[in-house]
Chains A and B, each alone.
Chain A
Amino acid sequence: MIEVSRLSKRYNGNHGIRDVSLTIGKGAITSFIGPNGAGKSTLLSVISRLLPMDEGTVRIGGMDVSKSDSRELAKVVSILKQSNHLNVKLTVGELVEFGRFPHSAGRLNAEDRRQVDEAIRYMELEELRGKHLDNLSGGQRQRAFIAMVLAQDTEYILLDEPLNNLDLKHSVQMMKVLRRLTDELGKTIVLVLHDINFAAAYSDSIVALKDGRVARHGAADEMIDPAVLQGIYDIDIPVHELGGRKVCVYFR
């Protein structure tokens, strides 16, 4: 469980968050949605200790994020930012091995190697294992980063816009993998997503942010509602039922 209480983070601009309190359940996918500048990425960064908070507390699995040892936290929670554009020449295998760093500090034992192999197999990267990251497509690279996070073997996985730079096919593949991680391995996943239809189709619950505050938090099904969406995005978003799924039609 992730417990956020009275969290504030000011920026010199207005991209901050104000007095956010939130409880994110275990073993589920939770998506943060909202307009640009609503504070989605900021909230994720503060929760994951990438940014220091001004006020409030965050507890992940009972650990106070601002007081716990960073290395111990790295065994419990992982965070992947959208801008993991690396100019570092590493192979997929080497990158995934770094996921074991919090556990092994660089000296891989048999258990570490097993986890690395498993993560690579899970993300279907066996054939790319010896390839350098800079020779991969955007989708393959994204999968390699997820494999690294899997090798890190944390109960909580936070992803900032994991679908950025991915085409439709790879976006669907990515979301299916995340769904499997939750359903099969019981991971707790928190995402920042831009596309509300992806959020609707794959999340268990959705947190809508607006102007640095939580505008609404609920099960995915109840959040995909014209009145709720109108309140978040300030435009009319008709919701249709297609093949038993709610789909937002926000294009015109």
Chain B
Amino acid sequence: MKLRYLVVLLVILSFISLFVGVSDIRPWDLFRLTEDQADVMMISRIPRLVSILIAGAGMSIIGLIMQQLTRNKFVSPTTAGTTDSASFGVLISMVVFPGSAPLVKIIVAFVFAMAGTLLMMRIMERLRYRDPVLVALVGLMFGSIVGSATTFLALKYDLIQSVSSWMNGSFSTILKGRYEMLYVSIPMIVLAYLFADRFTIAGMGESFSVNLGLNYRQVMRIGIVIVALVSSVILLTVGSLPFLGLIIPNLVSLYKGDNLRSSLGHTAALGAVFVLACDIMGRIVIYPFEVPIGLVVGVLGSGIFLFLLLRRRAAHE
């Protein structure tokens, strides 16, 4: 698949996305929008589109980075504790600093996401079993433990509704003024591009990296910062988007290989296309109501994940 095709598809879907919704705006209205229509575009539709593109590309890229750093294709931020730790952090900031500014929440979520990811990677390094699926399962368990701590605290402080709102990702609440912190991901994505070669080398292991004179520990730290920060801002704006960081990098790896320099662009584009398609679907299925994006991504994503698992087994036999 050529990157060009993905980009064309992305542009077409973006265009469609702008004209799906309860307020009737047709493409031919674009040059003579009424004031109401212009408001809908500027306040809701465009912010929604932008946040879909950033979140789709961002989740996929940090999934890929995490898979490189753990050298495990079955690990991703949502399935190995990063998102759960960030979520725990958001809850802590709500309990400790009630009514705090969004920036405080981001910082606390980021710190927790960093700590959780580091801890999980330490655990994975120490495991005796090297089977990637088993290692990924341990990550899943780690995430669940953190998640249950979050639930426990949330119950105690009567915050369970807030927690479930951000654990189920949704773009329907995205409005101008409420999503801008997503832009923090953009410099992180640029950083990921600059470090593409280093992440590829780190994915080949520590001795391989040292041989090439790479500062392995530093690359790991930068990777974890990118993963933790991007997952935190996406969690705080859109909410959790399951499976995305798992399936998109794996699909791209199938046809493009693991050289990040050539696969990062595809990963970002395919992630954005996938989320955009899921979002449009979710908005159309029970129109004028919406199916939450997390549900659509979850249903399609688990199907694709199953396919990837079975394919891997077939390749082994």
A residues sitting closer than 8 Å to B (CB atoms) are 45, 48-50, 69-75, 78-81, 83-84, 86-91, 94, 98-99, 101-102, 105-106, 132, 152
- Could you tell me the distance between the alpha carbons of A152 and B208 in the complex, rounded to whole angstroms? 12
Given contacts A106-B261, A132-B257, contact A86 B204 (CB under 8 A): yes
Nearest first, the 7 closest Cβ-Cβ pairs linking A and B are A74-B213, A71-B213, A106-B197, A89-B257, A102-B213, A89-B258, A101-B212
Residues of A within 8 A of B261 (CB): 106
- Shortest B95–chain A CB gap in Å is 42
Q: Do B211 and A72 touch across chains, with their CB atoms under 8 A apart?
A: no
Central interface residue in A48, A87, A99, A132, by most chain B CB within 10 Å: A87
Given contacts A70-B215, A106-B197, 4 further A-B contacts (CB under 8 A): A70-B214, A74-B211, A84-B208, A87-B132
Within 8 A of A (CB), among B188-209: 196-198, 200-201, 203-208
B residues sitting closer than 8 Å to A (CB atoms) are 71, 73, 132, 196-198, 200-201, 203-208, 210-215, 253, 257-259, 261
Nearest CB to that of A76 among chain B residues? B213
Q: Do A50 and B207 touch across chains, with their CB atoms under 8 A apart?
A: yes
- Could you tell me the distance between the alpha carbons of A40 and B261 in the complex, rounded to whole angstroms? 37
- Could you tell me the distance between the alpha carbons of A88 and B197 in the complex, rounded to whole angstroms? 13
Q: Do B207 and A90 touch across chains, with their CB atoms under 8 A apart?
A: no
Of B73, B206, B212, B258, which contacts A152 at CB under 8 A? Answer: B212
- Shortest B256–chain A CB gap in Å is 9
Of B198, B205, B259, which contacts A90 at CB under 8 A? Answer: B259
Given contacts A79-B207, A86-B204, A88-B204, contact A101 B253 (CB under 8 A): no
Residues of A within 8 A of B213 (CB): 69-75, 101-102
Residues of A within 8 A of B259 (CB): 90-91, 94
Nearest CB to that of B208 among chain A residues? A84
Of A71, A87, A89, A132, which contacts B71 at CB under 8 A? Answer: A87
- Could you tell me the distance between the alpha carbons of A49 and B206 in the complex, rounded to whole angstroms? 11
- Shortest B268–chain A CB gap in Å is 18
Residues of B within 8 A of A88 (CB): 71, 200, 203-204, 258
- Could you tell me the distance between the alpha carbons of A87 and B206 in the complex, rounded to whole angstroms? 14
Residues of A within 8 A of B211 (CB): 48, 50, 74, 78-80, 152
Of B73, B198, B208, B214, which contacts A87 at CB under 8 A? Answer: B73
Residues of A within 8 A of B198 (CB): 106
- Shortest A202–chain B CB gap in Å is 23
- Could you tell me the distance between the alpha carbons of A49 and B144 in the complex, rounded to whole angstroms? 39
Nearest CB to that of B215 among chain A residues? A70
- Could you tell me the distance between the alpha carbons of A49 and B210 in the complex, rounded to whole angstroms? 8
- Shortest B34–chain A CB gap in Å is 51
- Shortest B71–chain A CB gap in Å is 7
- Could you tell me the distance between the alpha carbons of A80 and B200 in the complex, rounded to whole angstroms? 17
14 contacts between A and B (CB under 8 A): A70-B210, A70-B215, A71-B214, A72-B213, A73-B213, A75-B213, A79-B211, A81-B208, A83-B207, A88-B258, A89-B257, A90-B257, A98-B197, A101-B197
Residues of A within 8 A of B210 (CB): 48-50, 70, 79
- Could you tell me the distance between the alpha carbons of A98 and B71 in the complex, rounded to whole angstroms? 18
- Could you tell me the distance between the alpha carbons of A98 and B257 in the complex, rounded to whole angstroms? 15
- Could you tell me the distance between the alpha carbons of A75 and B207 in the complex, rounded to whole angstroms? 15
Residues of A within 8 A of B205 (CB): 84, 86
Residues of A within 8 A of B132 (CB): 87
Residues of B within 8 A of A48 (CB): 210-211
- Could you tell me the distance between the alpha carbons of A105 and B197 in the complex, rounded to whole angstroms? 8
Residues of A within 8 A of B204 (CB): 84, 86, 88
- Shortest A11–chain B CB gap in Å is 16
- Could you tell me the distance between the alpha carbons of A48 and B212 in the complex, rounded to whole angstroms? 11
- Could you tell me the distance between the alpha carbons of A86 and B71 in the complex, rounded to whole angstroms? 9
- Shortest B263–chain A CB gap in Å is 9
Nearest CB to that of B213 among chain A residues? A74
- Shortest B133–chain A CB gap in Å is 13
- Shortest B19–chain A CB gap in Å is 39
Q: Do B257 and A91 touch across chains, with their CB atoms under 8 A apart?
A: yes
- Shortest B209–chain A CB gap in Å is 9
- Could you tell me the distance between the alpha carbons of A102 and B215 in the complex, rounded to whole angstroms? 11
- Shortest A147–chain B CB gap in Å is 14
Nearest CB to that of A94 among chain B residues? B259
- Shortest A221–chain B CB gap in Å is 32
Residues of B within 8 A of A70 (CB): 210, 213-215
Residues of B within 8 A of A81 (CB): 207-208
Q: Do B201 and A101 touch across chains, with their CB atoms under 8 A apart?
A: yes
Residues of A within 8 A of B73 (CB): 87
- Could you tell me the distance between the alpha carbons of A80 and B204 in the complex, rounded to whole angstroms? 12
Of A83, A90, A101, A102, which contacts B258 at CB under 8 A? Answer: A90
